[in-house]
Amino acid sequence: MSAPTLLQGVKVLTLEQVHALPWGTAFLADMGAQVIRVESADHLQDRKAGPFPSGKPGEEWWNEGGNLAYFGTRNKQSLCMDVTHPVGKEIFLKMVKQCDIVTDNFRPGTMRRYGFDHESLAAINPRIITLSSTAFGHSGPWSKAGSRARTIDAMCGMSALTGYEGGPSLRASNNYMDHSTGNNVAYALLLALYRRNKTGKGVRIDLTMQETGVSCIGPAILETQHGITRPRLGCAHLWKSPHNVYACAGKDRWIAIAVASNAEWTALKQAMSNPAWAQDARYDVVQSRWQHRHELDKKLTEWTATQDDKALMASLQARGICAGAVLTAADLVNDPHLRQRGFLQDYNREGSATVGVRTYAGRPFRVPGVAMAIWHTARMGEHNNAVLQQVAGLSPGEITALAEQNVLYTRPRTGEKVP
């Protein structure tokens, strides 16, 4: 597998850690941009994050984590260079002249301290596109606050809307906000490239996790302006019923069923062989079904509880009823639909026998001509030489000198804590 040519020639320098920004720049790398991830030997949390083969960090743990292949250094280049060192800083700025995009996810102010803020970079490369992905953005009273994806889940209003029916608020996810933000990063960068093709102009992009999060709850933002409070309903729905998860045979097996219309309810009754309880007139119309949804859910569970979730899904779907088994990761890696669609990628991590072939989720879209697969995972500092020669124009002798000055790394420092 090799790189698509869509973004061939586009060079991205990225000072990125953790999740949201690396997820975003990975899309550009998939499309063939040269994404140079500038890493630091001082901050190896992404290389420590795993997951590791059999859950155990191996001898070369810094190149073994699964998140690296899924998004961290996926199709990217790794330049492990200390940019806080005066020489490293000078080289970074030299490379900016040759690059199209610079991205970072430091807290606001850090890039300025390094001399890498948009104004400084635009002064040496007027066509530069910069994107800073932060929790709260470069202005406002919370600008300097730190975050995790789940604190953003809370801050944006999502957690308050999430929870079992009648229960307390719960975070929607540990990392949904990272991924939504990363998707937004990719969109914003592609927009900026598109605009620059037309106008020749660079741009400064200030993108935030919190605001991306709020953009995920648009309806609730409108509702609250008219005093409407959206209840937490778990898997239930504001008006549809039955609409929930129902226990199936086996341990922790479930099926989700979502009935909207009366016709669908009739079909479900037929699927159940028209039991006497289901003939109750209170279940005949949408509104009344919803009002009596708790007892309806209970009755329905009595019917599903003895059945196989996947077989029940197939038989309900054959009758046109909206139903889906609650699938686990183990189900999904073997799912016939996903396999037939080529969605899952069994990718062999070249040069790492301990990792070898593992299965990864693909991209949820197919654009003919733009294969979005993993074809390489950059090892720590793997591209030091290539990048410094090709992009920074350094000679092999200069590069050797840098390594001796402890500006370049290809492995963690001696004594680095094993994750």
Partner 1 sequence: MTNVAMDGILSDIKVLELAHAPSGAFCAKLLADQGADTVKVEPPGSGDQARHEPPFIGGKPHPDRGTAFLAMNTSKRGVTLDVTQPAGRDLFLKLVSAADVVIESFKPGQMGSLGLSYEALKAGNPNVILLSISYFGQYGPYANYEGDDLIAQAMGGYLYAVTGSADKPPMGTALQQMEQTAGRNGVIAIMAALLQREQSGAGCHIDVSVMEAAIATPSGLIHPYSFTGRNPRRGSGDANVMDGMHLPTRDGEVTLTTAGTGGRSMEVWSEFIGELRLLDPKFATRLSRQENWEELRDLVAPKLKEWNNLDLMRETMARGLVIGLVQSPQQVLDSPHLAERGFFVELEHAEAGTLKYPGPGFFFDGVNPMQASRAAPRLGEHNAEIYSGQLGLSNDELSRLYAAYVI
d(CA 97, CA 77): 18
Q: Based on CB atoms, which residue is closest to partner 1, 52 or 375?
A: 52
Taking the complex as a whole, how short is the minimal distance between the CB of residue 144 and partner 1, in angstroms? 7
Alpha helical stretches, state H, 128-208: 149-155, 158-161, 176-199
Taking the complex as a whole, how short is the minimal distance between the CB of residue 204 and partner 1, in angstroms? 5
Taking the complex as a whole, how short is the minimal distance between the CB of residue 90 and partner 1, in angstroms? 28
Taking the complex as a whole, how short is the minimal distance between the CB of residue 32 and partner 1, in angstroms? 10
Bond into 168 cis (ω within 30): no
DSSP codes of every residue in 30-49: HTT-EEEEEE-TT--HHHHS
Task: For residue 358, report the phi and psi dihedrals to the nearest 5 degrees.
Answer: -135, 160
d(CA 46, CA 396): 29
- Reduce the DSSP state of residue 186 to 3 states and report it: helix
Q: Which residue has the tokens 């020749």?
A: 200
- Between the alpha carbon of residue 255 and those of residues 220, 239, 302, 336, the distances in Å are 28, 19, 13, 18
Taking the complex as a whole, how short is the minimal distance between the CB of residue 48 and partner 1, in angstroms? 14
201 C-beta neighbours (distance < 10 Å), count = 11
Q: Based on CB atoms, which residue is closest to partner 1, 151 or 385?
A: 151
Q: For the chain, what's the residue count?
A: 419
Tokens of 184: 């937004």
Q: Based on CB atoms, which residue is closest to partner 1, 369 or 397?
A: 369
Taking the complex as a whole, how short is the minimal distance between the CB of residue 276 and partner 1, in angstroms? 26
Q: Based on CB atoms, which residue is closest to partner 1, 282 or 341?
A: 341
- Between the alpha carbon of residue 198 and those of residues 5, 87, 124, 130, 205, the distances in Å are 20, 36, 21, 17, 18
Q: Based on CB atoms, which residue is closest to partner 1, 149 or 394?
A: 149
- Name residue 279's beta-bridge partners: none
Taking the complex as a whole, how short is the minimal distance between the CB of residue 417 and partner 1, in angstroms? 12
Amino acid identity for residue 174 in this structure: N
Taking the complex as a whole, how short is the minimal distance between the CB of residue 130 and partner 1, in angstroms? 10
Q: Based on CB atoms, which residue is closest to partner 1, 77 or 208?
A: 208
186 C-beta neighbours (distance < 10 Å), count = 18
* CA proximity to 205, closest of 386, 45, 394, 24: 24
Q: Based on CB atoms, which residue is closest to partner 1, 184 or 384?
A: 184
